[in-house]
Amino acid sequence: MKNLNPELLVATCVAEAAAALYGGTPDSYTIQTQTTRKEFEGDITAVMFTLLKQSRKSPEATGQEVGAYLKEHNEEVQDFNVVKGFLNISLSDAYWNNIFAAIVAHPDFGQAPDSGRTVMIEFSSPNTNKPLHLGHIRNNLLGWSVSRLLEACGHRITRVNLVNDRGIHICKSMLAWKRWGNGETPASSGKKGDHLVGDYYVLFNSKLKEEVDALVANGMEKEVAEKQAPLLKEAQDMLFRWESGDEETVALWKMMNGWVYEGFDETYDRLGISFERTYYESQTYLFGKELVLAGLEKGIFEKQEDGSVWCDLTADGLDRKLLLRGDGTSVYMTQDLGTARQRFEEYSLDEHIYVVGNEQNYHFQVLKLILKKLGFDWSDSIYHLSYGMVELPQGKMKSREGTVVDADDLLDKMYQTAKETSLELGKLADMTEEEQHRLFEMISLGALKYFIIKVDPRKTMLFDPRESIDFNGNTGPFIQYTHARIQSILRKAQEAGVALAATPVALLPKEVNIIKMLNNFPNKVLEAGKALSPALVANYAYELAKEFNQYYHDTSILKEADANIRANRLQLIAVIAGVLRKAMDLLGIQLPDRM
In contact, 547 and 508? CB cutoff 8 Å: no
Q: What is the DSSP letter of 399?
A: G
According to DSSP, the residues that pair with 384 across neighbouring strands are 354
Q: What is the DSSP letter of 71?
A: H
Taking alpha carbons only, the member of 175, 190, 274, 158 closest to residue 233 is: 175
Over its length of 595 residues, how does the chain's per-residue pLDDT go in tens digits? 446 799 999 999 999 999 999 999 999 999 999 999 999 999 999 999 999 999 999 999 999 999 999 999 999 999 999 999 999 999 999 999 999 999 999 999 999 999 999 999 999 999 999 999 888 999 999 999 999 999 999 999 999 999 999 889 999 999 999 999 999 999 999 999 999 999 999 999 999 999 999 999 999 999 999 999 999 999 999 999 998 999 999 999 999 999 999 999 999 999 999 999 999 988 888 899 999 999 999 999 999 999 999 999 999 999 999 999 998 888 889 999 999 999 999 999 999 999 999 999 999 999 999 999 999 999 999 999 999 988 877 655 444 444 568 899 999 999 998 999 888 877 788 899 999 999 999 999 999 999 999 999 999 998 887 788 888 889 999 999 999 999 999 999 999 999 999 999 999 999 999 999 999 999 999 999 999 999 999 999 999 999 999 999 999 999 999 999 999 999 999 999 999 999 999 999 999 999 8
In contact, 181 and 149? CB cutoff 8 Å: no
Taking alpha carbons only, the member of 428, 420, 458 closest to residue 536 is: 458
Q: Which positions ≥6 away from 282 have C-beta within 8 Å? A: 165, 166
Span between the terminal Cα atoms of the chain, in Å:
41
* d(C-alpha 180, C-alpha 195), whole Å: 16
Helix 193-217 vs helix 168-180: angle between axes, to the nearest 10 degrees? Answer: 90
Q: Which positions ≥6 away from 260 have C-beta within 8 Å? A: 128, 129, 193, 194, 197
Topology given in CATH for the domain delimited by 123-401:
Rossmann fold (3.40.50)
* Cα 389 to chain centroid, rounded: 14
322 sits in which H/E element:
strand 320-324
For residue 193, the SS3 value is helix
Q: Output the DSSP codes for 208-275.
A: HHHHHHHHHHTT--HHHHHHH-HHHHHHHHHHHHHHTT-HHHHHHHHHHHHHHHHHHHHHHHHHT---
Q: What is the pLDDT of residue 389?
A: 87
CA atoms within 13 A of residue 149's CA, in its CB half-sphere: 26
- The domain ranges of the chain are 6-91, 123-401, 444-586
Q: What is the pLDDT of residue 394?
A: 61
* d(C-alpha 573, C-alpha 576), whole Å: 5
Q: Which positions ≥6 away from 251 have C-beta within 8 Å? A: none
Taking alpha carbons only, the member of 83, 77, 20 closest to residue 49 is: 83
Question: What are the Cα distances from residue 139, in Å, to 19, 57, 198, 272, 457?
Answer: 53, 56, 19, 13, 9
CA atoms within 13 A of residue 103's CA, in its CB half-sphere: 30
CATH code reported for the domain at 444-586: 1.10.730.10
Q: What is the pLDDT of residue 397?
A: 43
Superfamily of domain 6-91: Arginyl tRNA synthetase N-terminal domain (3.30.1360.70)
In contact, 387 and 357? CB cutoff 8 Å: yes
Taking alpha carbons only, the member of 275, 273, 253 closest to residue 164 is: 253
96 sits in which H/E element:
helix 93-105
Q: What is the pLDDT of residue 399?
A: 44
Residue type, 406: D
